[in-house]
Amino acid sequence: MQLFKNPGILVCLSAFLLALGTYLATMEVPVRITYDPAAAEQYDLMRAYLPFGFALWILSLMFLVYGIVLGAQKPLAVARLKKPFSMVSIIVGVTMGVLALTSTFLPWVIAEGTEPFIETRGGSFNVGQYHALTGVDLMTGTNNMAGDIILLVFVGAIIGILHIPLLTLLERERTDAMRVILFLLGGICIIGPVALVYAHRIWWISLRVNGALGFSVSFESPGMGFLIATSCAIGLIASGIITTIKLARSIAPINTSSI
């Protein structure tokens, strides 16, 4: 029970439950919708784990509030902010979080196409099409690939903006080890939707012949939001790896002196 009296552990548990709850809330599973033995079995994709996701969200908020209350009862680790590495970690976490949040409102997929030739008295010409899908469009529109999985990008942003600075302020011991967990968790939350979008789109040119009317060419390319989200995920994961190396180097002299 001593673990639940540690503000840093509570903050890490809050971030983990937030990510897990979001994943369960967005997971779509096939559910049987016909129960007539004489009829053919029919299934539909539904978010069957949505109630569990809501429960984990509430539990995550409770852990976060409890951790803040426990941490506020002790002197805040303001002196830790004077250390360059701690300050850099906060700046990296907040910056990556803000950029990840911003990326969801920028184009993730840019689809361009050329319709068949249109014949008029003035001659023939192509009618071009340009359509940009933002992260929010992919999440809420008819073009979503796997439910609202892009909500995990918001989770990664929250971890960077909220949980990492709180951990530095509230936790006085084992900060680097817990910071590694938050960096890696935030990066994984962002890289998951990025990989899913990349796997479900067509990133090459598609040529279609339309007989006498001509032909059309369409292709899709990553948008600015997709590239920013990818960079944020790489930045968070790299920060976690760098923090791990720093932690290992700080432990090595202790083990050497004890021998």
What does the pLDDT read at residue 15? 94
* pLDDT for position 120: 54
Q: In this predicted structure, what is the pLDDT of residue 81?
A: 54
Give percent above pLDDT 90 in the chain.
30
Q: How far is CA 213 from CA 118, 119, 122, 126, 210, in A?
A: 8, 9, 16, 11, 6
Rounded average pLDDT over 140-163? 79
Residue 213's pLDDT is 45
Q: Which residue has the higher pLDDT, 258 or 13?
A: 13
Mean pLDDT of 115-135: 61
Look at residue 101 and tell me whether its pLDDT is greater than 90.
Answer: yes
Indicate the range of 88-92, 128-132, 180-184, 189-193 predicted with least confidence: 128-132
Rounded Cα distance between 129 and 118, Å, is: 14
Calculate Rg over the CA atoms of the chain. Answer: 24
pLDDT score at 190: 94
pLDDT at 211 (0 to 100): 46
Determine the average pLDDT of the residues in 146-160: 85
- Per-residue confidence (pLDDT) for residue 71, from 0 to 100: 79
